[in-house]
Amino acid sequence: MHAREFEAFDRICRERGAGGDVLEVGATPDDSTLLCLPALARARSRVGVDLAGDAEHAGFRIVGANANALGAVFADASFDTVLANSLLEHDPRFWLTLAEIRRVARPGALVVLGVPGYLSTAADRRWTRAARIPLAGALVRRWAGTRLATTGTLVVHNHPGDYYRFSAQAVREVLLDGLVAREVVTHMLPPRIIGSAVKPS
């Protein structure tokens, strides 16, 4: 995980009062995992889940399980904070994982999700405006035609597959659907999008 992404998660968790019993979906047994966020230092418990298998690190355990079906591992309403970063793009059925995140979150729980995204940059918008200028626009369209129809995004990184990229709108309206007090931030280039919200009481 990029250091700026780690810092952004830490700030969001600190500002939104993350803590209590914490679950990270897609945890890794190293210091860059979200369970090592300074904002979670006083959490009552920290546990992770990952396809790679059981592990332990820095005082927390990681359970080997598929996040699409956590019923055999965690009961309903088990966690006060649920985190996931750079996971949903690798999950061919990410909607099942989202359903499990909502199921294991307690009423009032904080959910924070990070995904690679795409967005229209200021440079993209300038190219689009230039393409509309009479006469000169034809040159712009010819010279930068593909630039006008694309946007930057994170490179494909198969772990084991790489299926999706998300917009800020998708994070707010799809990934955080059914949750309240939604906040979405986009940072870095290529963009990373972090959405946070609360499970209704």
Give the per-residue pLDDT at 194: 98
- Indicate if 45 and 65 belong to the same structural domain: yes
Kindly state whether residues 70 and 139 are assigned to the same domain. no
| 134 shares a domain with 45 | no
Co-location of 43 and 91 in the same domain: yes
Asked if residue 81 and residue 13 are part of one domain, the reply reads yes
The arithmetic mean of pLDDT across residues 123-140, rounded, is 68
CB-based contacts of 170: which residues, under 8 Å, 6+ apart?
Answer: none
Least confident of 94-103, 130-139, 157-166: 130-139
Q: pTM (2 decimals)?
A: 0.88
Q: Are 170 and 133 within one domain?
A: no
Range of the domain at 145: 120-152
Q: How far apart are CA 72 and CA 65, in angstroms?
A: 9
Q: How many domains, the chain?
A: 2
Number of H helices, E strands in the chain: 6, 8
146 and 127 both lie in a single domain: yes
Q: What is the pLDDT of residue 91?
A: 96
CATH code of the domain covering residue 101? 3.40.50.150
Peptide bond preceding 160 in cis form (omega within 30 of 0): yes
